[in-house]
Amino acid sequence: MSERAAQTLKIAEQHLGPLDIALDHLTLGRAALYEAILESTDSGFRIPNSELGLAVSGLLCAGTQDHLPRSLLTRAWLHSAQGNSSNAQADLDEAWEIAVRGPMRLFMADIHLHRARLFFRAAQYPWVSPAADLAAAEKLINDCGYHSRDAELADAKRAILSQPQQ
């Protein structure tokens, strides 16, 4: 996947606009993040950090908000994997502000899932509670017919709600 995105990025930089370039950086950043997580090396986060930074700034420059939450969610995951919970929370909050203004209800469901997944072990949960975020995600998923998230929701509920809360 990353080789294809790298090829597409070269083409986009020559022939397309900032939106296409930013989306290619997002794809490269996601691929590098997955690789870094699977390899479990801290040094492996340098590439996704750079690519996701370029994706977020590129989407801001492109002047479109409909892809920005996706890049912020991915960057929040990266920050969380790096142990930087304050930056992860800031990205989730920014994505939430954009999604609520939209209204982008599918992104709102994804944000609830990310909040619960990334912060359920936190000594002090930054929002109401992981259970409340999962319940809100479930309601949005059902209301919107966003059933491609059913398995993820079920997995999150098993992992999070079966854990003793702090």
Q: What pLDDT digit, counting tens, does each position of 88-103 carry?
A: 999 999 999 999 999 9
Helix intervals (H) in the chain: 2-15, 18-39, 46-62, 68-81, 85-101, 105-119, 130-144, 150-161
- For the chain, the domains span 1-91, 104-166
Q: How many CB atoms lie within 10 A of CB 79?
A: 22
Specify the pTM. 0.88
Quick one: pLDDT band at residue 3, thresholds 50, 70, 90?
confident
